[in-house]
Amino acid sequence: MNSTYTSVKLILGDQLNRFHPWFEKVDSEVLFVMMEVRSETDYVKHHIQKVVAIFDSMRKFAGELKSNGHHVHYILINDSENKPTITENLKSVCSKYAVEELHYQLPDEYRVDQELMQLENNLKIPVHSSDTYHFLTSREEFGEFFKGKKSFLMENFYRHMRVKHQILLEAGNKPLGGKWNFDQENRKKVPKNHLIQTVGLLTKNVSDIVDEIKNSGIETIGEIAPTKFTWTTTRKEALELLENFVTDALLLFGTLQDAMTEHHWYLYHSRLSFALNVKLISPLEVIKRVEKAYFEHPELYELNQIEGFIRQILGWREYMRGIYWSQMPAYSELNFFENERALPSWFWTGKTKMNCMKHTISQSLEHAYAHHIQRLMVTGNFALLAGIHPDEVDNWYLGIYIDAFEWVEITNTRGMSQFADGGIVGSKPYVSSAAYINKMSDYCGNCQYSLDKKIGENACPFNSLYWNFFDEHTDKLRSNPRLGMMLNVWNKMPANDKAAIISQANLYLENIETL
Protein backbone atom coordinates (compact mmCIF):
# COMPACT_ATOMS: atom_id res chain seq x y z
CA MET A 1 0.00 0.00 0.00
CA ASN A 2 1.13 3.58 -0.69
CA SER A 3 0.89 6.38 1.83
CA THR A 4 -0.95 8.57 -0.71
CA TYR A 5 -3.12 7.93 -3.77
CA THR A 6 -4.22 10.26 -6.56
CA SER A 7 -7.66 8.71 -6.81
CA VAL A 8 -10.09 6.49 -4.98
CA LYS A 9 -12.52 4.25 -6.87
CA LEU A 10 -15.52 3.06 -4.89
CA ILE A 11 -16.87 -0.45 -5.54
CA LEU A 12 -20.28 -1.21 -4.01
CA GLY A 13 -21.42 -4.68 -2.96
CA ASP A 14 -23.47 -5.17 -6.12
CA GLN A 15 -20.78 -3.90 -8.50
CA LEU A 16 -18.61 -6.98 -8.73
CA ASN A 17 -18.04 -6.82 -12.49
CA ARG A 18 -14.54 -8.08 -13.10
CA PHE A 19 -14.70 -6.89 -16.73
CA HIS A 20 -15.31 -3.27 -15.84
CA PRO A 21 -12.74 -1.04 -17.66
CA TRP A 22 -11.46 0.10 -14.23
CA PHE A 23 -9.69 -3.23 -13.83
CA GLU A 24 -8.02 -3.44 -17.25
CA LYS A 25 -4.65 -2.09 -16.03
CA VAL A 26 -3.00 -1.93 -12.66
CA ASP A 27 -2.42 1.67 -11.60
CA SER A 28 -0.52 2.19 -8.37
CA GLU A 29 -2.01 5.68 -8.02
CA VAL A 30 -5.53 4.22 -7.76
CA LEU A 31 -6.95 2.87 -4.51
CA PHE A 32 -10.08 0.74 -4.81
CA VAL A 33 -12.34 1.07 -1.76
CA MET A 34 -14.88 -1.52 -0.67
CA MET A 35 -16.77 -1.44 2.61
CA GLU A 36 -19.16 -3.50 4.67
CA VAL A 37 -21.28 -0.66 5.93
CA ARG A 38 -24.18 -0.28 8.35
CA SER A 39 -26.17 2.08 6.13
CA GLU A 40 -26.41 -0.75 3.57
CA THR A 41 -26.89 -3.62 6.00
CA ASP A 42 -29.53 -1.75 8.01
CA TYR A 43 -31.80 0.17 5.56
CA VAL A 44 -34.10 -2.87 5.82
CA LYS A 45 -33.85 -6.06 7.88
CA HIS A 46 -32.16 -8.38 5.38
CA HIS A 47 -32.20 -12.14 5.35
CA ILE A 48 -29.02 -13.43 7.03
CA GLN A 49 -28.14 -15.37 3.85
CA LYS A 50 -28.30 -12.17 1.80
CA VAL A 51 -25.84 -10.34 4.06
CA VAL A 52 -23.54 -13.37 4.10
CA ALA A 53 -23.71 -13.68 0.31
CA ILE A 54 -22.90 -9.99 -0.18
CA PHE A 55 -19.98 -9.97 2.28
CA ASP A 56 -18.55 -13.25 0.97
CA SER A 57 -18.80 -12.05 -2.65
CA MET A 58 -17.25 -8.67 -1.80
CA ARG A 59 -14.37 -10.22 0.14
CA LYS A 60 -13.57 -12.69 -2.61
CA PHE A 61 -13.78 -9.99 -5.27
CA ALA A 62 -11.39 -7.79 -3.27
CA GLY A 63 -9.04 -10.78 -2.86
CA GLU A 64 -9.04 -11.33 -6.60
CA LEU A 65 -8.29 -7.65 -7.33
CA LYS A 66 -5.40 -7.74 -4.87
CA SER A 67 -3.97 -10.90 -6.36
CA ASN A 68 -4.04 -9.17 -9.76
CA GLY A 69 -1.88 -6.38 -8.33
CA HIS A 70 -4.56 -3.72 -7.68
CA HIS A 71 -4.45 -1.68 -4.49
CA VAL A 72 -7.57 -2.29 -2.40
CA HIS A 73 -8.70 -0.80 0.89
CA TYR A 74 -11.36 -3.14 2.30
CA ILE A 75 -13.31 -2.12 5.41
CA LEU A 76 -14.65 -5.11 7.34
CA ILE A 77 -17.91 -4.84 9.27
CA ASN A 78 -16.18 -5.02 12.68
CA ASP A 79 -13.11 -2.88 11.84
CA SER A 80 -12.63 -0.18 14.45
CA GLU A 81 -12.17 2.44 11.69
CA ASN A 82 -15.57 1.54 10.12
CA LYS A 83 -18.06 4.43 10.02
CA PRO A 84 -21.85 4.11 9.70
CA THR A 85 -22.23 5.43 6.13
CA ILE A 86 -20.56 5.22 2.74
CA THR A 87 -19.87 8.97 2.78
CA GLU A 88 -18.22 8.96 6.20
CA ASN A 89 -16.02 5.99 5.34
CA LEU A 90 -14.96 7.65 2.08
CA LYS A 91 -14.21 10.88 3.90
CA SER A 92 -11.84 9.18 6.27
CA VAL A 93 -10.12 7.09 3.56
CA CYS A 94 -9.69 10.13 1.31
CA SER A 95 -8.17 12.19 4.05
CA LYS A 96 -5.93 9.34 5.28
CA TYR A 97 -4.43 8.90 1.77
CA ALA A 98 -4.55 12.56 0.70
CA VAL A 99 -6.73 11.57 -2.23
CA GLU A 100 -7.24 14.16 -5.00
CA GLU A 101 -10.32 12.78 -6.77
CA LEU A 102 -12.99 10.15 -6.37
CA HIS A 103 -14.71 7.89 -8.91
CA TYR A 104 -17.81 5.77 -8.51
CA GLN A 105 -19.93 3.56 -10.73
CA LEU A 106 -23.57 4.58 -11.06
CA PRO A 107 -25.41 2.72 -8.30
CA ASP A 108 -28.55 0.70 -9.00
CA GLU A 109 -30.63 2.19 -6.20
CA TYR A 110 -32.09 5.66 -6.02
CA ARG A 111 -31.29 5.99 -2.29
CA VAL A 112 -27.59 5.40 -2.88
CA ASP A 113 -27.60 7.51 -6.04
CA GLN A 114 -28.80 10.46 -3.97
CA GLU A 115 -26.06 9.90 -1.40
CA LEU A 116 -23.29 9.62 -3.99
CA MET A 117 -24.45 12.75 -5.81
CA GLN A 118 -23.64 14.68 -2.63
CA LEU A 119 -20.08 13.34 -2.38
CA GLU A 120 -18.40 16.28 -4.09
CA ASN A 121 -20.07 18.63 -1.61
CA ASN A 122 -19.15 16.49 1.35
CA LEU A 123 -15.64 15.45 0.39
CA LYS A 124 -14.56 18.71 -1.25
CA ILE A 125 -12.67 16.93 -4.03
CA PRO A 126 -13.73 16.36 -7.67
CA VAL A 127 -16.06 13.35 -8.02
CA HIS A 128 -16.75 11.49 -11.28
CA SER A 129 -19.27 8.76 -12.09
CA SER A 130 -19.20 6.09 -14.77
CA ASP A 131 -21.36 3.22 -16.00
CA THR A 132 -21.27 -0.24 -14.45
CA TYR A 133 -21.09 -1.83 -17.93
CA HIS A 134 -23.54 -4.51 -16.87
CA PHE A 135 -27.04 -3.72 -18.12
CA LEU A 136 -28.09 -3.81 -21.75
CA THR A 137 -29.97 -0.51 -21.52
CA SER A 138 -28.76 2.78 -20.10
CA ARG A 139 -30.90 4.65 -17.57
CA GLU A 140 -31.93 7.13 -20.28
CA GLU A 141 -32.43 4.76 -23.23
CA PHE A 142 -35.59 3.24 -21.79
CA GLY A 143 -37.30 6.63 -21.50
CA GLU A 144 -36.34 7.39 -25.09
CA PHE A 145 -37.83 4.11 -26.33
CA PHE A 146 -41.18 4.85 -24.71
CA LYS A 147 -41.17 8.60 -25.48
CA GLY A 148 -44.53 9.71 -26.87
CA LYS A 149 -46.14 6.31 -26.26
CA LYS A 150 -49.33 6.17 -24.16
CA SER A 151 -48.21 3.36 -21.90
CA PHE A 152 -45.28 1.09 -21.23
CA LEU A 153 -45.53 -2.42 -22.62
CA MET A 154 -42.95 -5.11 -21.84
CA GLU A 155 -43.67 -7.06 -25.03
CA ASN A 156 -42.79 -4.10 -27.30
CA PHE A 157 -39.63 -3.40 -25.37
CA TYR A 158 -38.67 -7.08 -25.45
CA ARG A 159 -39.04 -7.29 -29.24
CA HIS A 160 -36.91 -4.19 -29.58
CA MET A 161 -34.23 -5.82 -27.38
CA ARG A 162 -34.34 -9.06 -29.40
CA VAL A 163 -33.62 -7.12 -32.58
CA LYS A 164 -31.10 -4.76 -31.00
CA HIS A 165 -29.04 -7.65 -29.64
CA GLN A 166 -29.85 -10.06 -32.48
CA ILE A 167 -31.16 -12.78 -30.17
CA LEU A 168 -33.23 -15.74 -31.45
CA LEU A 169 -33.83 -14.17 -34.87
CA GLU A 170 -33.98 -15.44 -38.41
CA ALA A 171 -33.49 -13.50 -41.64
CA GLY A 172 -35.18 -10.12 -41.82
CA ASN A 173 -35.22 -9.74 -38.03
CA LYS A 174 -38.12 -12.19 -37.76
CA PRO A 175 -38.47 -14.18 -34.54
CA LEU A 176 -37.13 -17.70 -34.62
CA GLY A 177 -39.97 -20.22 -34.72
CA GLY A 178 -42.41 -17.64 -36.08
CA LYS A 179 -43.45 -16.24 -32.69
CA TRP A 180 -41.88 -13.73 -30.31
CA ASN A 181 -43.35 -15.33 -27.24
CA PHE A 182 -44.07 -18.97 -26.37
CA ASP A 183 -45.69 -18.30 -23.00
CA GLN A 184 -48.82 -20.29 -23.83
CA GLU A 185 -46.72 -23.47 -23.68
CA ASN A 186 -45.20 -22.57 -20.32
CA ARG A 187 -48.07 -23.11 -17.94
CA LYS A 188 -47.87 -26.73 -16.87
CA LYS A 189 -48.14 -28.24 -13.42
CA VAL A 190 -45.54 -30.80 -12.26
CA PRO A 191 -46.95 -34.06 -13.67
CA LYS A 192 -47.90 -36.80 -11.19
CA ASN A 193 -44.97 -39.18 -10.54
CA HIS A 194 -42.55 -36.79 -12.26
CA LEU A 195 -39.06 -37.24 -10.81
CA ILE A 196 -37.55 -33.78 -10.40
CA GLN A 197 -34.06 -33.97 -11.86
CA THR A 198 -32.53 -30.55 -11.64
CA VAL A 199 -29.27 -28.81 -10.75
CA GLY A 200 -27.72 -29.97 -7.47
CA LEU A 201 -26.66 -27.55 -4.74
CA LEU A 202 -23.11 -26.41 -4.18
CA THR A 203 -22.47 -26.09 -0.46
CA LYS A 204 -19.73 -24.27 1.43
CA ASN A 205 -18.82 -23.21 4.94
CA VAL A 206 -19.49 -19.57 5.80
CA SER A 207 -19.42 -19.95 9.60
CA ASP A 208 -16.78 -17.23 10.08
CA ILE A 209 -18.81 -14.58 8.27
CA VAL A 210 -21.97 -15.62 10.12
CA ASP A 211 -20.15 -15.17 13.45
CA GLU A 212 -18.85 -11.76 12.40
CA ILE A 213 -22.35 -10.63 11.41
CA LYS A 214 -23.74 -11.86 14.72
CA ASN A 215 -20.97 -10.02 16.63
CA SER A 216 -21.59 -6.81 14.70
CA GLY A 217 -25.14 -6.54 16.03
CA ILE A 218 -26.73 -6.32 12.56
CA GLU A 219 -30.33 -7.47 12.86
CA THR A 220 -31.33 -10.03 10.26
CA ILE A 221 -34.24 -12.31 9.44
CA GLY A 222 -34.41 -15.91 8.25
CA GLU A 223 -32.38 -19.03 8.79
CA ILE A 224 -28.95 -20.21 7.75
CA ALA A 225 -27.04 -23.50 7.87
CA PRO A 226 -23.52 -21.98 8.06
CA THR A 227 -21.70 -25.12 6.94
CA LYS A 228 -24.03 -25.72 4.00
CA PHE A 229 -24.35 -22.36 2.32
CA THR A 230 -25.82 -22.71 -1.17
CA TRP A 231 -25.41 -19.33 -2.91
CA THR A 232 -22.80 -18.58 -5.57
CA THR A 233 -20.40 -15.87 -4.42
CA THR A 234 -17.67 -15.98 -7.06
CA ARG A 235 -17.69 -15.64 -10.81
CA LYS A 236 -16.34 -19.18 -11.11
CA GLU A 237 -19.26 -20.55 -9.11
CA ALA A 238 -21.74 -18.48 -11.09
CA LEU A 239 -20.35 -19.82 -14.38
CA GLU A 240 -20.58 -23.37 -13.04
CA LEU A 241 -24.17 -22.78 -11.97
CA LEU A 242 -24.97 -21.47 -15.45
CA GLU A 243 -23.39 -24.54 -17.09
CA ASN A 244 -25.24 -26.92 -14.79
CA PHE A 245 -28.48 -25.07 -15.40
CA VAL A 246 -28.05 -25.35 -19.17
CA THR A 247 -27.30 -29.08 -18.95
CA ASP A 248 -29.79 -30.13 -16.30
CA ALA A 249 -32.62 -27.64 -15.89
CA LEU A 250 -33.07 -25.63 -19.08
CA LEU A 251 -34.62 -28.64 -20.78
CA LEU A 252 -37.75 -28.12 -18.69
CA PHE A 253 -37.37 -24.50 -17.60
CA GLY A 254 -40.18 -23.04 -19.71
CA THR A 255 -42.65 -25.88 -19.40
CA LEU A 256 -42.53 -25.95 -15.59
CA GLN A 257 -41.63 -22.33 -14.91
CA ASP A 258 -44.99 -21.52 -13.31
CA ALA A 259 -45.35 -24.81 -11.44
CA MET A 260 -45.16 -25.01 -7.64
CA THR A 261 -44.65 -28.02 -5.41
CA GLU A 262 -44.15 -28.88 -1.77
CA HIS A 263 -41.35 -31.24 -2.76
CA HIS A 264 -38.77 -28.88 -4.26
CA TRP A 265 -37.86 -25.26 -3.60
CA TYR A 266 -36.42 -24.16 -6.95
CA LEU A 267 -37.49 -26.83 -9.45
CA TYR A 268 -36.07 -25.96 -12.89
CA HIS A 269 -35.29 -22.32 -12.06
CA SER A 270 -31.72 -21.13 -12.44
CA ARG A 271 -31.04 -19.42 -9.06
CA LEU A 272 -28.82 -17.02 -11.04
CA SER A 273 -30.52 -13.83 -9.85
CA PHE A 274 -28.09 -13.09 -7.02
CA ALA A 275 -25.00 -13.58 -9.20
CA LEU A 276 -26.61 -11.44 -11.90
CA ASN A 277 -27.67 -8.65 -9.55
CA VAL A 278 -24.25 -8.31 -7.93
CA LYS A 279 -22.77 -8.50 -11.45
CA LEU A 280 -20.58 -11.57 -11.01
CA ILE A 281 -22.06 -12.64 -14.31
CA SER A 282 -23.48 -10.50 -17.11
CA PRO A 283 -26.98 -10.71 -18.58
CA LEU A 284 -25.65 -10.90 -22.13
CA GLU A 285 -23.33 -13.81 -21.40
CA VAL A 286 -26.18 -15.74 -19.77
CA ILE A 287 -28.48 -15.03 -22.72
CA LYS A 288 -25.81 -15.95 -25.29
CA ARG A 289 -24.96 -19.18 -23.47
CA VAL A 290 -28.59 -20.28 -23.47
CA GLU A 291 -29.06 -19.29 -27.12
CA LYS A 292 -25.91 -21.23 -28.03
CA ALA A 293 -27.26 -24.35 -26.32
CA TYR A 294 -30.27 -24.17 -28.62
CA PHE A 295 -28.27 -23.53 -31.80
CA GLU A 296 -25.86 -26.35 -31.00
CA HIS A 297 -28.49 -28.85 -29.88
CA PRO A 298 -31.86 -28.07 -31.41
CA GLU A 299 -32.68 -31.77 -31.01
CA LEU A 300 -32.42 -31.42 -27.22
CA TYR A 301 -33.92 -28.04 -26.46
CA GLU A 302 -37.40 -26.87 -27.39
CA LEU A 303 -37.75 -23.23 -28.32
CA ASN A 304 -40.30 -22.51 -25.57
CA GLN A 305 -37.71 -23.38 -22.89
CA ILE A 306 -35.10 -21.13 -24.44
CA GLU A 307 -37.30 -18.18 -25.36
CA GLY A 308 -39.06 -18.32 -21.98
CA PHE A 309 -35.76 -18.03 -20.15
CA ILE A 310 -34.23 -15.37 -22.38
CA ARG A 311 -37.37 -13.21 -22.10
CA GLN A 312 -36.93 -13.03 -18.31
CA ILE A 313 -33.47 -11.52 -18.62
CA LEU A 314 -33.52 -9.64 -21.92
CA GLY A 315 -37.11 -8.51 -21.42
CA TRP A 316 -38.34 -8.36 -17.84
CA ARG A 317 -35.08 -7.60 -16.06
CA GLU A 318 -34.13 -4.68 -18.31
CA TYR A 319 -37.73 -3.47 -18.44
CA MET A 320 -37.98 -3.33 -14.63
CA ARG A 321 -34.76 -1.38 -14.40
CA GLY A 322 -36.03 1.04 -17.06
CA ILE A 323 -39.30 1.58 -15.23
CA TYR A 324 -37.41 2.15 -11.97
CA TRP A 325 -35.19 4.91 -13.29
CA SER A 326 -37.98 6.54 -15.26
CA GLN A 327 -40.40 6.59 -12.28
CA MET A 328 -38.37 7.07 -9.08
CA PRO A 329 -38.73 8.59 -6.55
CA ALA A 330 -42.52 9.03 -6.94
CA TYR A 331 -42.91 5.29 -7.59
CA SER A 332 -42.10 4.35 -4.00
CA GLU A 333 -45.14 6.32 -2.76
CA LEU A 334 -47.75 4.86 -5.12
CA ASN A 335 -50.74 3.13 -3.56
CA PHE A 336 -53.42 2.84 -6.27
CA PHE A 337 -55.88 0.82 -4.15
CA GLU A 338 -55.21 2.94 -1.04
CA ASN A 339 -54.44 -0.18 0.97
CA GLU A 340 -53.70 0.33 4.66
CA ARG A 341 -53.64 -3.03 6.45
CA ALA A 342 -50.51 -4.25 8.27
CA LEU A 343 -48.77 -7.42 7.16
CA PRO A 344 -49.87 -10.30 9.42
CA SER A 345 -47.11 -11.36 11.80
CA TRP A 346 -47.01 -14.90 10.35
CA PHE A 347 -45.32 -13.51 7.23
CA TRP A 348 -42.21 -13.52 9.45
CA THR A 349 -42.68 -17.06 10.79
CA GLY A 350 -44.64 -19.05 8.20
CA LYS A 351 -47.08 -20.09 10.93
CA THR A 352 -50.37 -20.08 9.03
CA LYS A 353 -52.87 -22.82 8.23
CA MET A 354 -52.92 -21.85 4.54
CA ASN A 355 -50.61 -24.47 3.09
CA CYS A 356 -49.57 -22.46 0.02
CA MET A 357 -48.62 -19.49 2.22
CA LYS A 358 -46.98 -21.66 4.87
CA HIS A 359 -44.90 -23.39 2.26
CA THR A 360 -43.85 -20.27 0.33
CA ILE A 361 -43.03 -18.26 3.45
CA SER A 362 -41.20 -21.11 5.18
CA GLN A 363 -39.04 -21.82 2.15
CA SER A 364 -38.29 -18.08 1.84
CA LEU A 365 -37.15 -18.01 5.47
CA GLU A 366 -35.12 -21.19 5.02
CA HIS A 367 -33.51 -20.43 1.66
CA ALA A 368 -33.99 -16.66 1.04
CA TYR A 369 -35.64 -17.79 -2.19
CA ALA A 370 -39.00 -18.41 -3.77
CA HIS A 371 -39.53 -18.53 -7.48
CA HIS A 372 -41.46 -16.01 -9.51
CA ILE A 373 -44.92 -17.60 -9.33
CA GLN A 374 -44.66 -18.24 -5.59
CA ARG A 375 -43.77 -14.55 -5.11
CA LEU A 376 -46.49 -13.35 -7.48
CA MET A 377 -49.40 -15.73 -7.11
CA VAL A 378 -49.09 -16.90 -3.51
CA THR A 379 -47.63 -14.29 -1.13
CA GLY A 380 -48.15 -11.31 -3.47
CA ASN A 381 -51.65 -12.43 -4.40
CA PHE A 382 -52.62 -12.80 -0.74
CA ALA A 383 -51.16 -9.40 0.21
CA LEU A 384 -53.11 -7.67 -2.54
CA LEU A 385 -56.38 -9.49 -1.81
CA ALA A 386 -55.99 -8.71 1.89
CA GLY A 387 -55.36 -5.01 1.20
CA ILE A 388 -51.90 -4.82 2.81
CA HIS A 389 -50.14 -1.45 2.57
CA PRO A 390 -47.56 -1.62 -0.26
CA ASP A 391 -44.84 -0.21 2.04
CA GLU A 392 -45.26 -3.25 4.27
CA VAL A 393 -45.21 -5.60 1.30
CA ASP A 394 -42.12 -3.96 -0.20
CA ASN A 395 -40.35 -4.09 3.11
CA TRP A 396 -40.91 -7.83 3.36
CA TYR A 397 -39.79 -8.60 -0.20
CA LEU A 398 -36.78 -6.27 0.00
CA GLY A 399 -35.55 -8.00 3.13
CA ILE A 400 -36.28 -11.63 2.56
CA TYR A 401 -34.97 -12.49 -0.89
CA ILE A 402 -31.35 -13.16 -1.75
CA ASP A 403 -31.72 -11.16 -4.98
CA ALA A 404 -33.67 -8.20 -3.57
CA PHE A 405 -32.31 -4.82 -4.61
CA GLU A 406 -34.78 -1.99 -4.78
CA TRP A 407 -34.63 -1.39 -8.56
CA VAL A 408 -35.92 -4.90 -9.27
CA GLU A 409 -37.79 -5.55 -6.04
CA ILE A 410 -40.05 -2.50 -5.99
CA THR A 411 -41.01 -2.72 -9.66
CA ASN A 412 -41.93 -6.37 -9.25
CA THR A 413 -43.62 -5.97 -5.88
CA ARG A 414 -45.31 -2.58 -5.80
CA GLY A 415 -45.76 -2.69 -9.56
CA MET A 416 -46.38 -6.12 -11.01
CA SER A 417 -47.60 -7.85 -7.88
CA GLN A 418 -49.51 -5.17 -5.93
CA PHE A 419 -50.63 -3.01 -8.90
CA ALA A 420 -49.97 -0.07 -6.59
CA ASP A 421 -48.70 1.83 -9.64
CA GLY A 422 -52.15 1.60 -11.25
CA GLY A 423 -50.77 -0.18 -14.32
CA ILE A 424 -47.34 1.24 -15.14
CA VAL A 425 -45.53 -2.12 -15.06
CA GLY A 426 -48.37 -4.48 -15.91
CA SER A 427 -51.75 -4.16 -17.51
CA LYS A 428 -53.79 -5.89 -14.77
CA PRO A 429 -53.59 -6.86 -11.11
CA TYR A 430 -52.40 -10.45 -10.61
CA VAL A 431 -55.09 -11.88 -8.36
CA SER A 432 -56.57 -15.34 -8.22
CA SER A 433 -58.75 -17.60 -6.14
CA ALA A 434 -57.70 -21.09 -5.00
CA ALA A 435 -58.46 -22.45 -8.48
CA TYR A 436 -55.25 -21.03 -9.99
CA ILE A 437 -53.06 -22.09 -7.04
CA ASN A 438 -54.50 -25.59 -7.25
CA LYS A 439 -54.03 -25.69 -11.01
CA MET A 440 -50.31 -24.88 -10.71
CA SER A 441 -49.36 -26.66 -7.47
CA ASP A 442 -49.85 -29.57 -5.13
CA TYR A 443 -50.40 -27.26 -2.14
CA CYS A 444 -54.18 -27.51 -1.87
CA GLY A 445 -54.25 -31.30 -1.42
CA ASN A 446 -52.52 -30.95 1.99
CA CYS A 447 -54.35 -27.88 3.21
CA GLN A 448 -56.70 -27.50 6.16
CA TYR A 449 -58.80 -25.19 4.02
CA SER A 450 -61.12 -26.41 1.35
CA LEU A 451 -60.23 -25.12 -2.06
CA ASP A 452 -63.74 -25.54 -3.46
CA LYS A 453 -65.53 -23.58 -0.73
CA LYS A 454 -66.09 -19.85 -0.82
CA ILE A 455 -67.98 -19.63 2.46
CA GLY A 456 -68.48 -21.63 5.63
CA GLU A 457 -66.18 -23.69 7.77
CA ASN A 458 -62.68 -24.11 6.32
CA ALA A 459 -63.51 -22.24 3.12
CA CYS A 460 -60.25 -21.26 1.41
CA PRO A 461 -59.53 -17.58 2.27
CA PHE A 462 -58.33 -16.88 -1.28
CA ASN A 463 -61.87 -17.51 -2.60
CA SER A 464 -63.86 -14.98 -0.60
CA LEU A 465 -61.00 -12.46 -0.61
CA TYR A 466 -60.82 -12.74 -4.40
CA TRP A 467 -64.45 -11.75 -4.93
CA ASN A 468 -64.27 -9.20 -2.15
CA PHE A 469 -61.39 -7.57 -4.08
CA PHE A 470 -63.63 -7.11 -7.14
CA ASP A 471 -66.43 -5.79 -4.97
CA GLU A 472 -64.26 -3.32 -3.09
CA HIS A 473 -62.45 -2.00 -6.15
CA THR A 474 -65.18 -2.14 -8.79
CA ASP A 475 -64.73 1.54 -9.66
CA LYS A 476 -61.00 1.22 -10.17
CA LEU A 477 -61.24 -2.04 -12.10
CA ARG A 478 -64.21 -1.26 -14.35
CA SER A 479 -62.17 0.30 -17.12
CA ASN A 480 -59.61 -2.52 -17.20
CA PRO A 481 -60.36 -4.63 -20.30
CA ARG A 482 -58.48 -7.64 -18.91
CA LEU A 483 -60.74 -7.87 -15.86
CA GLY A 484 -64.12 -7.13 -17.42
CA MET A 485 -65.15 -10.78 -17.59
CA MET A 486 -64.57 -11.45 -13.89
CA LEU A 487 -66.31 -8.22 -12.90
CA ASN A 488 -69.33 -9.35 -14.95
CA VAL A 489 -69.36 -12.70 -13.17
CA TRP A 490 -69.33 -10.91 -9.84
CA ASN A 491 -72.00 -8.43 -10.85
CA LYS A 492 -74.31 -11.22 -12.03
CA MET A 493 -74.00 -13.25 -8.85
CA PRO A 494 -77.22 -13.34 -6.74
CA ALA A 495 -77.24 -10.68 -4.02
CA ASN A 496 -77.48 -13.27 -1.20
CA ASP A 497 -74.42 -15.11 -2.45
CA LYS A 498 -72.49 -11.89 -2.75
CA ALA A 499 -73.42 -10.84 0.78
CA ALA A 500 -72.32 -14.22 2.18
CA ILE A 501 -68.98 -14.02 0.38
CA ILE A 502 -68.31 -10.50 1.56
CA SER A 503 -69.15 -11.36 5.12
CA GLN A 504 -66.83 -14.39 4.93
CA ALA A 505 -64.05 -12.16 3.57
CA ASN A 506 -64.60 -9.63 6.36
CA LEU A 507 -64.50 -12.36 8.96
CA TYR A 508 -61.16 -13.54 7.60
CA LEU A 509 -59.76 -10.02 7.43
CA GLU A 510 -60.81 -9.28 11.00
CA ASN A 511 -59.05 -12.47 12.08
CA ILE A 512 -56.14 -12.26 9.69
CA GLU A 513 -53.61 -13.13 12.40
CA THR A 514 -55.21 -16.54 12.90
CA LEU A 515 -55.66 -17.60 9.28
Binding mask 389-428 for ligand DLZ (x = CB under 6 A): ----------------x-----------------------
99 near ligand SF4, judged by CB under 6 A: no
14 near ligand DLZ, judged by CB under 6 A: yes
CA 15/CA 9 separation, integer angstroms: 12
Strands 169-170 and 174-175: antiparallel
Among 5, 145, 274, 443, binds ligand SF4 (CB under 6 A): 443
Amino acid at the residue 321: R
CA distances for 29 relative to 3, 72, 88, 198, 263, angstroms:
10, 11, 22, 48, 54
Binding mask 447-466 for ligand SF4 (x = CB under 6 A): x-x-x--------x-x----
Q: What contacts 24+ positions apart, CB below 8 Å, involve 312-315?
A: 312/372, 313/276, 313/283, 313/286, 313/287, 314/136, 314/158, 314/161, 314/162, 314/165, 314/167, 314/283, 314/287, 315/154, 315/155, 315/157, 315/158, 315/161
Among 17, 57, 277, 355, binds ligand SF4 (CB under 6 A): 355
Nearest distance, CB of residue 339 and ligand FAD, angstroms: 15
CA 130/CA 36 separation, integer angstroms: 22
Interacting partner of 270 out of ligand SF4, ligand FAD, ligand DLZ, none (Cβ under 5 to 8 A depending on kind): ligand FAD
Interacting partner of 36 out of ligand SF4, ligand FAD, ligand DLZ, none (Cβ under 5 to 8 A depending on kind): ligand DLZ
Nearest distance, CB of residue 355 and ligand SF4, angstroms: 4
In this complex, which beta carbon is closest to ligand FAD, that of residue 214 or of residue 236? 236
12 near ligand DLZ, judged by CB under 6 A: yes
Contact stretch for ligand FAD (CB under 6 A) within 66-74, 167-175, 373-381, 478-486: 373-381
Nearest distance, CB of residue 93 and ligand DLZ, angstroms: 13
Contact stretch for ligand DLZ (CB under 6 A) within 37-45, 247-255, 256-264, 485-493: 37-45
187 near ligand FAD, judged by CB under 6 A: no
Phi, psi of 297 (to 5 degrees): -135, 65
Amino acid at the residue 212: E
Helix H segments across 165-272? Answer: 207-216, 235-244, 250-253
3-state helix, strand, coil in the chain (%, to 5): 50, 5, 40
Interacting partner of 54 out of ligand FAD, ligand DLZ, ligand SF4, none (Cβ under 5 to 8 A depending on kind): ligand DLZ
* Nearest C-alpha neighbor of 47 from the set 240, 192, 231: 231
Sheet containing strand 71-75, edge to edge, reads: 71-75, 30-35, 7-10, 101-105, 127-130
102 near ligand DLZ, judged by CB under 6 A: no
In this complex, which beta carbon is closest to ligand FAD, that of residue 109 or of residue 403? 403
104 near ligand SF4, judged by CB under 6 A: no
401 near ligand FAD, judged by CB under 6 A: yes
385 near ligand SF4, judged by CB under 6 A: no
What is the sign, positive or negative, of the torsion defined by CA atoms of 34, 404, 288, 427?
negative
Contact residues: ligand SF4, CB under 6 A: 354-356, 434, 437-438, 443-444, 447, 449, 451, 460, 462
